[in-house]
Amino acid sequence: MCKCLHLGPPRIPILGSYWALLKEDYYFSHRSTELVAKRYNTDILGIFLGPAPAIIPFGYDLCKEVLTREEFFGRNDTILTRGRSLGDLIGIFFVDGPYWKEQRRFSLRNLRDYGFGRRFATTEEHMEKEVRDLIELFTTEPKPEDKDICRERGQLLMPDTLFAPILNSILYMLVGRRFDNQEVREIGRGIMRFLRSGDGTGGAISLAPWLRYFAPNFFGFTPVVEENKRFTKFFQQQINEHKVNLTDDHQADLIDTYLSKLEELKRENETETTFSEKQLIWTLIDFMFPAPVAIGQTLNCLWVYLVNYPEIQERIQEEIDRVVGRSRLPNLDDRKDMPYTEAVIRETLRKDPINPLGISRRCMQDTYLRGYFVPKDTVILPHLWSACHDVKKWKDPENFRPERFLNRHGDLLKKDYTIGFGAGKRLCAGETFSRQTMFLLVSGLLQNFSFAPADEMPDPKKKIWGVLLSSPEFWVKAISR
């Protein structure tokens, strides 16, 4: 016999059960939902976000099940998901069904030709140059154009310092060139402003879209629209430049490949298609967008732990010296021989999941979850924070302990249980790129420097609320080894 979802707090007009979350913790939705679930003694919390039914599964096993079941692969159509693409529901992140499958498959298949998600010599050479430029930035007097991130020699602002190498690495594959560091740093900051403009549930603006007319800044609507206009303008300019030089025998990046596809469809008079120039813009945005988020913010958290626990730095440096030495930079061939460095990255991903309620999902058909009936169009918010802090999986989740990913011989465990990038067919397309980039940045910088806080010691527990959970920016001091 099936069970009805326990609905938890009572509903009120407009907000539904959302008021109860605000009451528990106004800023951090992952905390408020956890407190409400404990009050009702359930690991599948049922609430209403306005009129829409929603479920929040807790714990590793439940979250993993939700993330991998196809009936939970849908996305939600909200004022924010449309507002960020200026009225349309396009791109990769917030679409589903055949549209999502076709666009994702085409993009990934062609991006692989330029090194996305696999080993590619040209891409690795480009990344090595970015690391060398970072090392130079850490060791020389700051240039006038770098004063925003470098206040004096060896003192830099995290994670803003990392935005340029991270973004230029992905943009190299998307548009075939690198950009001025100041320009891409501002793009990274714009992405962060966007992701700090709401909360993990979508917030009041999704429940009552008319609020954008009364207080658009307060409810996060203005940053969504303004920052995404900036991204649209940036990529439209790149597309226009590519059109001038487009030929069938010269395709150097995703824009070239996609424009060639549009030309092919035009020659065939194909009108019923998911391909369009506007879709291309938002595909580019959706591949660029996670770079300063998944990589930049994870590394910001990692550096907070490094300066708080210098013994972890020392152990990584010992591993680098033993495996790589000092005559060259670490490369991806070294990754398999550096289990402790990899374990530190994994532990950061586990301890501080940057998206603690995941990207909201939509149930695409009537179904059941652990005996509970889940109707079609139910909103699903997988509580990734609880999955990453589940005592059944991690034993002592409150501790930052990289050794949990190593066996008794010091080798890396084959199974990686971190699910910050998601799981199943909607796994983040950039996971491999992100992990490779994090390894190269961490190992390259720690080979050459030890790090300490330039000001007060950053608190690992201090976070900034928003759709993204992030650590505050802080100044770090690099000490040459």
Task: Could you list the residues known to form a binding site for heme, using ranges.
Answer: 428
d(CA 360, CA 73): 10
Q: Are 60 and 417 in contact (CB under 8 A)?
A: yes
Cα distances from 262 to residues 115, 279, 282, 309, 388, in angstroms, run: 22, 11, 15, 52, 42
Amino acid at 24: E
Cα-Cα-Cα-Cα dihedral sign, residues 406, 435, 351, 34: negative
193 contacts: CB under 8 Å, gap ≥ 6: 223, 227
| 476: three-class secondary structure by DSSP | strand
What is the residue whose two structure tokens read 């609905």? 7
Cα–Cα distance for residue pair 320/340, rounded to 1 Å: 10
- Say which residues have a Cβ less than 8 Å from residue 240's Cβ, sequence separation at least 6: none
> Given the DSSP bridges, would you call strands 52-57 and 449-453 parallel, antiparallel or unpaired?
unpaired
Q: Are strands 44-49 and 52-57 parallel, antiparallel or unpaired?
A: antiparallel
Q: Per the structure block, which two tokens stand in for 283?
A: 């595909």
AA letter at 18: Y
Helix (H) or strand (E) holding 49: strand 44-49
H helix runs in 337-405, sequence order:
339-351, 384-388, 391-394
Distance CA 204, CA 185 (A): 30
Q: How far apart are CA 220 and CA 197, in angstroms?
A: 4
* Residues annotated in a binding site: 428
